[in-house]
């Protein structure tokens, strides 16, 4: 039993390369966030008639947590990458100011919950989709209270969260999984299990 515990602790122990990779992913996605925020704001008028479906565009903001969880495979990797991305976005001048830090924490926790359910051992598309969906639902509910409290009827609120969940599943979940596989094929993830699995 002590051997099993030792192996489990070793598997969850952070290496320098893990920390650097999660941070670099966060910085890269933070720049993406900043650009996506500008595009999102520009596209918002298109949803004037049905504003509750604008959350279908929001899966992009969940990507760093999913990608970091699939690559680094350490407790806290998703949260670190998401918070780093949110911090970079805030520093670059986000439309939502420092509110993105709260969102980053919520989204990172959503993905952490998904991978924790499988003890950080499974990293297939199903886990990625679950992470995207949990992060989206938590963030969607938060946004309803933070930004749209009292603005919409219950049916619209449900649709908002549902559209967010679809975006989380497709863009963050399947999109994040596909991105990790693409990176692994280039050899960029050779220091990680994701890279070795792809070669195998």
Does residue 59 fall inside a structural domain?
yes
Summarize pLDDT for 58-100 with one digit per residue, the tens: 999 999 999 999 999 999 999 999 999 999 999 998 877 888 9
E runs forming strands in the chain: none
Does residue 2 fall inside a structural domain?
no
> 67: domain range?
16-199
Summarize pLDDT for 95-134 with one digit per residue, the tens: 778 889 999 999 999 999 999 998 777 778 999 999 999 9
Cα–Cα distance between 136 and 106 in angstroms, integer? 9
CATH number of the domain encompassing residue 74: 1.10.1760
Does residue 1 fall inside a structural domain?
no
> Residue 69, CB half-sphere, CA atoms under 13 Å: how many?
41
**Percent helix, percent strand, percent coil in the chain, to nearest 5:** 80, 0, 20
- Backbone angles phi and psi of 94, in degrees to 5: -75, 145
Cα–Cα distance between 187 and 98 in angstroms, integer? 36
Does residue 4 fall inside a structural domain?
no
The one-character DSSP state at 14 is P
Does residue 87 fall inside a structural domain?
yes
Does residue 7 fall inside a structural domain?
no
The domain tally of the chain equals: 1
pTM of structure: 0.89
Does residue 11 fall inside a structural domain?
no
Other beta carbons less than 10 A from residue 1's beta carbon: 5
């Amino acid at each position: 039993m002590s051997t099993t515990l030792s192996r489990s602790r070793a598997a969850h122990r952070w290496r320098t390369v893990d920390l650097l990779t999660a941070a670099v992913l966060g910085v890269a996605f933070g720049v993406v966030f900043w650009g996506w925020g500008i595009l999102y704001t520009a596209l918002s008028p298109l949803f004037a008639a049905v504003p509750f479906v604008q959350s279908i565009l929001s899966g992009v903001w969940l990507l760093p947590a999913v990608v970091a969880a699939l690559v680094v495979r350490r407790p806290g990797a998703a949260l670190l990458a998401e918070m780093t991305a949110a911090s970079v976005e805030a520093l670059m001048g986000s439309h939502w100011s420092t509110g993105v830090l709260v969102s980053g924490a919520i989204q990172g926790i959503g993905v952490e919950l998904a991978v924790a359910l499988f003890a950080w051992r499974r990293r297939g598309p199903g886990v990625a989709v679950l992470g995207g969906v949990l992060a989206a639902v938590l963030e969607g509910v938060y946004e309803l209270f933070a930004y749209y409290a009292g603005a919409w009827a219950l049916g619209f609120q449900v649709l908002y969260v549902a559209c967010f969940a679809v975006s989380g599943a497709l863009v963050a979940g399947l999109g994040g999984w596909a991105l990790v596989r693409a990176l692994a094929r280039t050899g960029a993830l050779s220091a990680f299990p994701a890279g070795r699995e792809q070669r195998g």
